[in-house]
Structure 1
Amino acid sequence: MIDALPLAVLCVALLVATVSQRVAGMGFGLVMGPTAALLVGPIAAVVLVNVTAIVACGLILPRVWRGIDWRRLAWIGIPAAIASIGGLLLARVVSADLLRIAVGAVAILGVVLALAFTRTEHRLDGPITRLVAGSTIGVLNASVAVGAPAVGVYQIVSRWEPRAFAATMQPFWVLVSASTLLERQLLVPQGWPEWPWWAWAAVIAATAAGTLVAEPIARRLPARAVRIAIVVLSILGGGAVIVAGAIGLAG
């Protein structure tokens, strides 16, 4: 069961998260992960973030269909779906809060190094890079429900064009989130929020509203602004995970 006030906060977070997801192709878990963890608990948060990510990205998908890079999606999406099994198992044996702090610190370091890398003329986007990026994202999404920093690092070092990146991330997150939910049901079958139907209806309505608000914004933003948003969201994602872990340890 969930009270009206926490549900309202979740709905606002969902609207903001969906706008971020449409504009930059990432940031959904950044906004929803810490908010859901505080309001419904860390275990239910992973389930809730993945369920709502499927809804949000599924609603956005028809609007970006023509811009999707299907080849690159396969290269990073399939490893991510497989590696999410490891993330679920990791979350069972390692303290969730310690894991968040470690992940956040490594994520911020990764973004800083990736930005330094862009000062050179090189780019990293071969098969190995894609496999490593996809696997890392899958592990982080399944274990702490925040894969955005790893996604941002890959976008930076691969120099992936921001609009094509944002479009491809929609089916990517549908695939990864659906895989995580299926694997979680098989390996860790608990944590689903026990909500009445009207609470789920409110969540879906907030997500739908986010897609409507985001569409005109996404069309007007220049590519440079989207690129900056990806970097900022990646760093904020790492910081948010560290804070959530520190709060958990302090409590």
Structure 2
Amino acid sequence: MAKIALITGATSGIGEACAKVFARERYDLILTGRRIDRLETLAAHLREEYNVNVTTLQFDVRNRDEVVKHLESLNDECKKVNVLVNNAGLSLGLEPFQEGSYDDWDTMIDTNIKGLLYVGKVVANWMIANGFGHIINLGSIAGKEVYANGNVYCATKHAVDALNKGMRIDLLPHGIKVTAVHPGAVETEFSEVRFKGDKARAKKVYEGFEPLVADDVAETIWFCASRPAHVNINDILVMPTAQSGGSNIFRK
């Protein structure tokens, strides 16, 4: 029987790249996201390319009732999830704290923290019942260092770092692995979302150096997931060669 990976935020970027990597490794997939057209297009491609089973679920991780309803609607076989990639997340705005948007703050907190909790709790209980599983939480360099104008986004990723440690402690007696993968600068839709569709401003973020791409992070996640049963990568920070810290990038 094929192993199963459940990936949130699979409609673009790191989530989409993870779906392709796990399909390549012959995992069946459960893919979640808000944009059903993108989910279905990706699912069709993966079924044809890799001959794997793909289930799609459209919901917003911020909505607890939707998360529980859609996940619990899966049949018992689908709930035998081997790997959960808690990828859904975003940043909005890059203003000083005193100029921040309440709405942006709520969206980041509800997505990056609460969404991770809602999905994580449901799937963790499946894993406990199954007697196996690995939860991989997507953090960020912003969860290790605070940078100028990062304030609330950095706070949400610091929360992910803390929750990752807490989940590992609490799930230890059940043999459930818990890993955090913390990327530095990755060129995806991340900056376009942060700057609310301003593509020119987003492009400037990556000028003068070679950032990571989604595949780099997906392969790092696969490395963590593919270790032997007795090995867990607790925490891994992956950066572009040109970046030494949260706000220190060498640009040519």
Shared fold (TM-score, shorter chain, > 0.5): no
* Greater percentage in strand: 2
TM-score, normalising length: structure 2: 0.30
TM-score, normalising length: structure 1: 0.30
